[in-house]
Amino acid sequence: MVRWEPGATDRLRVAALDLYLQQGYEQTTVGEIAKSVGLTERTFFRHFADKREVLFDAEGHLEQAFVDAVAAAPPEAAPLEVIQAALTTTAQFFGAERRSWSQKRYQVISANLPLKERELLKMASLANALAAALQRRGVPELVAALAAQTGIAVFTVAFEQWIADGETRSLVEVERELLGELKVLAAALR
Amino acid sequence: MVRWEPGATDRLRVAALDLYLQQGYEQTTVGEIAKSVGLTERTFFRHFADKREVLFDAEGHLEQAFVDAVAAAPPEAAPLEVIQAALTTTAQFFGAERRSWSQKRYQVISANLPLKERELLKMASLANALAAALQRRGVPELVAALAAQTGIAVFTVAFEQWIADGETRSLVEVERELLGELKVLAAALR
DNA sequence: GAGTTGATGTCAGTGGCTGACATCAACGAC
DNA sequence: GTCGTTGATGTCAGCCACTGACATCAACTC
């Protein structure tokens, strides 16, 4: 006999997003999420650090993919070319089949400031990891930080455009356009 | 006779930063902050939305200064030139006399993730305001978003360098160097 | 079969935050 | 001058996020 249903973490993730969507983030209590999958509030907090993290703890994979892609770029590649390569590689996480799910998740996050804050923290963590990975390639600290932050800026703007209504291009295509725009923007600097 | 001492908001701000520095953010309760200036916890929450905001509610001025500077830039200036002008103008908020205070505040913020999150939210808000101001100058939406995010990236990296130990340049100088680096980085893109 | 492990439950407690209502100096209308 | 209003504050009750301590008990180990 099975003492506990398996996959508690996943069940909590799914239930939380559902409830946040259906009745709002603030209106949903942690006890409610847990109860809806046959667990207790205390157990929720053994799987996730807090009420927000349930939507974000999977992003560690994305960060790892970014770091790996930076390390795998050709040795002679310039910093922003490395970033470009990493953006291209990791864009595979966001195929057309994930667009609808990404839209739902983004809808919840952008409607709730506490969730937006947590997302920004994850992006900042990603930027730090990128900068560290660039430094391991010999890029000086300040330049690495700037290139990493810039890369995250491109990713953020590209992602928001990718899930926008009416947008049909892939994430990679949007990212490429933005990197082109960035080149134009920077070239126009005195 | 004076019923209440004036400047409650300021007194709470000062007391909060002091206590966060002396005994840590988590170890400080809101009731403690309020009591230390002769007020109650309930009153604290009438001045600040939450325990974090007490360190951030003054940043609205910075945002306004950025937006004004964008609007005041010469009509023919390219987007990143506008950003550069805004960075230069607003750097006046961070004179040498404020460096020590900025360091203390940054020390508390960077040591506590909840505070870091709030700061990132403020930066994101600043980026949105910048993008909107650029759009009012006729810059297309995506380009405006990219230029704004890039500008914030420069500001963030520059600020952290400005308050770093051993750094002697002004914020404007660091910003100028980073914009130069950015130009080089982008030019190296295929 | 005894001991160990590990995911879960239970319970009590702290602290952030809110709504409702009361207080009372200052201020303006008359 | 009195009187009603205003607005910053206090008081109190309560919800909920989150934590520490301890108990439970199927599964697994040896």
For residue B65, tell me if it sits in a domain: yes
Nearest residue of A to residue B182, measured between CA atoms: A186
Nearest to B15 by CA among B55, B46, B43, B42: B55
Closest-approach nucleotide to residue A1, Cα vs C1':
D26
Q: Within this chain, do residues A124 and A37 fall inside the same structural domain, yes or no?
A: no
Residue A1 clears pLDDT 70, i.e. is over it: no
For residue A1, tell me if it sits in a domain: no
Q: Give the model confidence (pLDDT) of B12-62 as tens digits.
A: 999 999 999 999 999 999 999 999 999 999 999 999 999 999 999 989 999
Distance CA(A113)–CA(A110), nearest Å, equals 7
Q: Within this chain, do residues B70 and B106 fall inside the same structural domain, yes or no?
A: yes
Q: Within this chain, do residues A84 and A133 fall inside the same structural domain, yes or no?
A: yes
Among A76, A80, A88, which would you mutate to test the B interface (most chain B Cβ atoms within 10 Å of its Cβ)? A80
For residue A162, tell me if it sits in a domain: yes
Q: Which of residues 90-119 of A touch B (CB under 8 A)?
A: 113, 116-118
B88 has a chain A CB within 8 A of its CB: no
- Averaged pLDDT, A110-131: 98
For residue A183, tell me if it sits in a domain: yes
Residue A2 clears pLDDT 80, i.e. is over it: no
Q: Within this chain, do residues B104 and B165 fall inside the same structural domain, yes or no?
A: yes
- Averaged pLDDT, B104-108: 96
Q: Is the CB of A33 under 7 A from strand D?
A: no
**Å between A37 CA and C5 C1'?**
24
Residue B2 clears pLDDT 90, i.e. is over it: no
Distance CA(B13)–CA(B36), nearest Å, equals 11
Q: Give the model confidence (pLDDT) of A53-85 as tens digits.
A: 999 998 999 999 999 999 999 999 999 999 999
Q: Within this chain, do residues A133 and A43 fall inside the same structural domain, yes or no?
A: no
Please judge whether B84 and A189 are an interchain contact, meaning their C-beta atoms are less than 8 angstroms apart.
yes
Distance CA(A189)–CA(A58), nearest Å, equals 39
A72 has a chain B CB within 8 A of its CB: no
Residue A169 clears pLDDT 60, i.e. is over it: yes
Question: Which pLDDT value is given to residue B1?
Answer: 53
Which CATH number is A27's domain given?
1.10.10.60
**Å between B164 CA and D20 C1'?**
39
Question: Which pLDDT value is given to residue B58?
Answer: 87
Q: Within this chain, do residues B19 and B45 fall inside the same structural domain, yes or no?
A: yes
For residue A85, tell me if it sits in a domain: yes
Residues of chain B with C-beta less than 8 angstroms from the C-beta of A117: 117-118, 120-121
Q: Within this chain, do residues A63 and A81 fall inside the same structural domain, yes or no?
A: yes
Residue B66 clears pLDDT 70, i.e. is over it: yes
Q: Within this chain, do residues B110 and B80 fall inside the same structural domain, yes or no?
A: yes
Q: Is the CB of A8 under 7 A from strand C?
A: yes
Q: Within this chain, do residues A74 and A39 fall inside the same structural domain, yes or no?
A: no
Q: Give the model confidence (pLDDT) of B22-35 as tens digits.
A: 999 999 999 999 99
For residue B3, tell me if it sits in a domain: no
**Å between B8 CA and D9 C1'?**
11
Residues of chain A with C-beta less than 8 angstroms from the C-beta of B150: 150, 153, 182, 185
Instruction: Say what angle helices B79-90 and B59-72 make with each other, to 10 degrees.
Output: 130
Which CATH number is A155's domain given?
1.10.357.10
- Averaged pLDDT, B95-124: 97
For residue A2, tell me if it sits in a domain: no
Residue B49 domain boundaries: 8-54
Residue A48 clears pLDDT 60, i.e. is over it: yes
Distance CA(B32)–CA(B44), nearest Å, equals 10
A37, A11 contact by CB (below 8 A):
yes
Question: Domain count of chain B?
Answer: 2
B189 has a chain A CB within 8 A of its CB: yes
Q: Within this chain, do residues B50 and B126 fall inside the same structural domain, yes or no?
A: no
Q: Which helix (H) or strand (E) holds B166?
A: none
Question: Which pLDDT value is given to residue A58?
Answer: 87
Residues of chain B with C-beta less than 8 angstroms from the C-beta of A81: 188-190
Q: Is the CB of A42 under 7 A from strand C?
A: yes
Its sign, for the CA torsion B136, B139, B145, B149, is negative
DSSP A110: H
Q: Within this chain, do residues B181 and B88 fall inside the same structural domain, yes or no?
A: yes
Question: Which pLDDT value is given to residue A6?
Answer: 78
Q: Which two tokens stand for residue B186?
A: 């982008």
Question: Which pLDDT value is given to residue B4?
Answer: 79
For residue A26, tell me if it sits in a domain: yes
The pLDDT-based confidence of B146 (bands split at 50, 70, 90) is very high
- Averaged pLDDT, A168-188: 97
Q: Within this chain, do residues B12 and B81 fall inside the same structural domain, yes or no?
A: no
Nearest to B148 by CA among A97, A77, A66, A153: A153
A14 has a chain B CB within 8 A of its CB: no
